[in-house]
Amino acid sequence: MKTDILIVGAGFAGAVCARELAEAGRKVLVIDKRSHIGGNAYDRIDEHGVLIHPYGPHIFHTNSRRIFEWLSRFTDWRFYEHRVLAQVEGQLLPIPINRTTINRLYGLDLDEAGVAAWLEKVREPRDPIRTSEDVVLNSVGHDLCDKFFRGYTRKQWGLDLSELSAGVAARIPTRTNDDDRYFTDTYQFMPADGYTAMFRRMLDHPNIIVELNTDYFNIRDRLRANHTVYTGPIDAFFDYCYGRLPYRSLHFEHLHLPNTEWFQKVGTVNYPNDYDYTRITEFKHLTGQKHPGTSIVREYPKAEGDPYYPIPRQENETLYKRYEAIAKTRKDVTFVGRLAQYRYYNMDQVVGAVLSKLIKVRDELNG
């Protein structure tokens, strides 16, 4: 069997790539081993009629107008600013840590300048900042670190903060004001009809064929393509020749509560120190859906299972670089996406990565 362009994976990386190449006149075959499009951003209506995210909560946020406008061709949006509370010492407190968090946790009544001065006293300056522990201690000191970050991180990654690159904890800022939004990006929206509907429109093009339930490794010997775009785990592509790259997996426990309008006050509640799960998300907050019952998901981190997170730390980066070096010799294949680039990318960053890589793909194809 012969195709012009083969795209492995129908998630953000694969779908954006497919659409761009199809519009440039190429014939594209997209395959995914799962039974649906959308990758980890896939959403669906559950048995009770509630729109859920089977692979955990996905909130779109970006500062890039270009990326927002690119996706806006395939969806309308619903304005949504995500808010998260953390259960600490019996209280539900805003995370990222802000003025309210500090005043309520320590029984204080500080204004913004007071919080800044208080943080200056408790923070433990670190230089250089290499690990996630450095990031957190440097901004809030050990007490807040232990209450909000150390336990959560141990659960989420199976590692101590000191064993993870700075970029992991640096995702969470510290604030001296009352801003309790999880993200502060310019564009914060949910796709109005959900992610899957957006993906369906993206892949709806006369030059695109989608085949689901198709594992690349079962067909790669039979299928010839002028160019392949691979969005799965990079170590699998090379038959783990340098050993396995570690990924973190999750077990998602989905529950429906009939006749319960709301389970919790905000979209997500984090449990840094209690329970085996890290957080509970209630989907109706995210989607704005009206329903007499509600659906929630608990996330239990684990080592084995579907790869959801690359694990950002130096030794993994070193191993990834070896795979990247052989990937670069494969002019016939483009590696893009969270698993193929082993990057802790958000959805918008994956779109951005595809749009920049496509310049290379077009050059390859044009000779």
State the residues that interact with ligand UDP by CB under 6 A. Answer: 86, 95, 148-149, 152-153, 156, 168-169, 171-172, 270, 272
Q: Contact with ligand FAD (CB under 6 A): which of 59, 97, 137, 210?
A: 59
CB of 140 to ligand FAD, least distance (A): 23
137 alpha-carbon distance from chain centroid: 25
Q: How far apart are CA 175 and CA 102, in angstroms?
A: 10
Query: Cβ 255 to ligand FAD, closest distance in Å?
Result: 16
Q: Which does 358 bind (CB under 5 to 8 A by kind): ligand FAD, ligand UDP, none?
A: none
Quick one: residue 314, left, alpha or beta (phi over 0 = left, psi -120 to 50 = alpha)?
alpha
Q: Which is nearer to ligand UDP, 8 or 41 (CB)?
A: 41
Q: Where are the alpha helices (DSSP H) in the chain?
A: 12-23, 65-72, 99-106, 112-122, 132-144, 151-157, 166-169, 195-203, 216-219, 234-237, 283-287, 314-329, 347-365
Site size for ligand FAD (CB under 6 A): 35
The least CB distance from residue 40 to ligand FAD, in Å, is: 4
Q: Which is nearer to ligand FAD, 146 or 193 (CB)?
A: 193
Please state, in angstroms and rounded to a whole number, the distance separating the CA atoms of residues 42 and 54: 7
Q: Concatenated DSSP letters for 223-280?
A: -EEEEEEE-S-HHHHTTTTT-PPPEEEEEEEEEEETT-S-SSSSSEEE-SSSSS-SEE
Q: How far is the CB of 178 from ligand UDP (least distance, A)?
A: 18
Please report how close the Cβ of residue 299 comes to ligand FAD at its closest, in angstroms: 6
Of positions 216, 271, 277, 283, contacts ligand FAD by CB under 6 A: 216
Taking CB under 6 A as the rule, does residue 347 contact ligand FAD?
yes
Q: Does 187 bind ligand FAD (CB under 6 A)?
A: no
51-52/44-45 β-pairing: antiparallel
What is the C-alpha to C-alpha distance for residues 54 and 148, in angstroms, rounded to an integer?
26
- Which entry of ligand FAD, ligand UDP, none binds 345, CB below 5 to 8 A by partner kind? ligand FAD
Please tell me the distance from the alpha carbon of residue 123 to that of residue 144, in angstroms, as a whole number: 9
Q: Which positions touch ligand FAD (CB under 6 A)?
A: 8-14, 31-34, 39-41, 55-60, 215-217, 231-232, 250, 308, 337-339, 345-348, 350
